[in-house]
Structures are given as structure tokens and as C-alpha cells.
């Protein structure tokens, strides 16, 4: 028998971001589905996270970025091979150089799209995967999720981006861009995560709870 999942979080105990500190008490892992208030702070952080596409100009401190990155690399990964490399760019001149290289050889809307695909986030995290690992892409996704949840808990907005990856990996000057980032030759760009202080407060988009079902 298949039972439809109800769109509530009551009675659930999550063990997310354990590496970032804080223990979870299953007895307090309850939610108020009507008000959207959650007794458990981890669940509240997850449910309040939004993809931010407008940022304030100020950057994020290196100490805060270091903490976010540490939470990222403490994500689960296949056989603890840690088949990722992470590069954090918080220098505006470096980002401008990367954008110019991405737009090189393009005209009009294509050039604008290449330069604008980072959503003007003041900090950009580039995550690369080991080309030889069958599981590296999953590991990178888990790392990115940990980073975004950690960022949310620290008041930092975030967005996960795939379009810069597509543009860079398909560019004729891809190697020149990747040299700036300093990835090892056996690694390929997989994901980007923008970070910064939000200059918008988007509403949550509806999720289709009908896609989650219990199987007895």
C-alpha cells in the first residue's frame, strides 16, 4: 500500500548539519503547520531558506565564509573520498575578470547572460568534482546544500547556480578560467553557490507534497 505524504514536519527528527554544532532533540522536533513556526531550529532554518537573486553590495567576512565552508566539507560523501575541490572568490576584481572571460567571443544577449549569470552575488563558491568518481556529483550537491543551510543559519543568503557551470565548461577559453580558480587537472566544475546578504525577501514557492509517498 502506498500512502500519500502529508505536507507537515511534525514529529520528525533531523540530524542535518551536525558537524556545525548543536544537537537535536526528537522530543522537540515539532512544527506548527498553520503558523510556520518550528520548535526545532534546524528545521526552521531549512524551511526558511530561499534562493536569493538580489544582494546587498557588502561582502561576507572571511571568518563567516570559513565556517560555511567547513560545514560544507562535513557533508556526507561516498566512502569519505571527499572527491571535491572548493574555491571561494570574494574579490570583486577576480570575479570581474572571470565574467569578462566568460563573455569573450559572445555578443549582445549572450554576452550579457554570461556576465549576469552569477546574480551579482558578492561571493561566489565554485565546486569541482573528481572526473573519475561515479559519485562525486552527488557529493558536491550535498556539500553545496550544507553550505546553503549553514549560510541561512548565519543570516547569509545563497543561491545554487548551474548556468555558470554550463557556460564555463563549454567555453573555448574554459581552461583559462579554471586556471584562475586553480582546480586540479583531474577535477571538473560541477556547481556554483552564490553567497551574500539578501536584498530581497522572496516568499516560499509551493512544493508538491504529492510526489512524496510512503510505501508499506
Top CATH class of 62-196 equals alpha beta
pLDDT-based confidence at residue 38 (cuts at 50, 70, 90): confident
Q: Can you give the pLDDT at residue 207?
A: 94
pTM of the prediction? 0.83
Could you tell me which residue, 116 or 10, shows the higher pLDDT? 116
Quick one: what percent of the chain has pLDDT higher than 90? 74
Tens of pLDDT, residue by residue over 67-101, are 999 999 999 999 999 999 999 999 999 999 999 99
- In the chain, where the domains are located: 2-49, 62-196
CB 160 within 8 A of CB 125: no
Say what the pLDDT of residue 6 is: 54
Measured distance CA(149)–CA(72) in Å, rounded = 9
Average pLDDT over the chain, rounded to an integer: 87
Give the pLDDT band (50/70/90) at residue 14: very low
**In terms of DSSP H, where are the helices of the chain?**
41-48, 62-73, 92-103, 108-116, 136-153, 163-170, 174-181
CA 117, CA 4: separation in Å to the nearest integer?
A: 38
Q: What pLDDT, on the 0 to 100 scale, is given for residue 36?
A: 61
Amino acid at each position: 500500500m502506498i500512502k500519500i505524504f502529508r505536507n507537515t514536519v511534525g514529529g520528525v527528527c533531523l540530524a542535518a548539519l551536525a558537524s556545525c554544532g548543536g544537537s537535536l532533540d526528537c522530543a522537540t522536533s515539532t512544527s506548527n503547520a498553520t503558523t510556520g513556526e518550528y520548535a526545532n531550529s534546524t528545521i526552521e532554518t531549512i524551511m526558511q531558506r530561499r534562493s536569493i537573486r538580489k544582494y546587498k553590495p557588502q561582502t561576507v567576512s572571511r571568518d563567516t565564509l570559513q565556517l560555511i565552508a567547513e560545514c560544507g566539507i562535513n557533508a556526507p560523501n561516498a566512502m569519505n573520498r571527499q572527491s571535491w575541490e572548493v574555491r571561494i572568490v570574494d574579490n570583486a576584481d577576480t570575479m570581474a575578470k572571470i565574467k569578462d572571460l566568460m563573455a569573450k567571443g559572445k555578443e549582445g544577449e549572450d554576452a550579457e547572460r554570461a556576465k549576469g549569470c552569477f546574480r551579482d552575488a558578492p561571493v561566489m563558491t565554485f565546486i569541482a568534482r573528481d572526473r573519475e568518481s561515479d559519485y562525486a556529483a552527488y557529493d558536491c550537491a550535498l556539500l553545496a546544500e550544507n553550505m546553503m543551510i549553514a549560510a541561512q543559519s548565519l543570516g547569509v543568503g545563497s543561491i545554487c547556480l548551474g548556468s555558470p557551470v554550463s557556460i564555463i565548461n563549454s567555453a573555448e577559453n574554459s581552461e583559462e578560467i579554471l586556471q584562475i580558480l586553480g582546480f586540479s587537472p583531474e577535477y571538473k566544475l560541477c556547481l556554483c553557490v552564490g553567497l551574500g546578504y539578501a536584498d530581497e525577501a522572496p516568499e516560499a514557492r509551493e512544493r508538491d507534497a504529492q510526489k512524496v509517498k510512503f510505501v508499506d
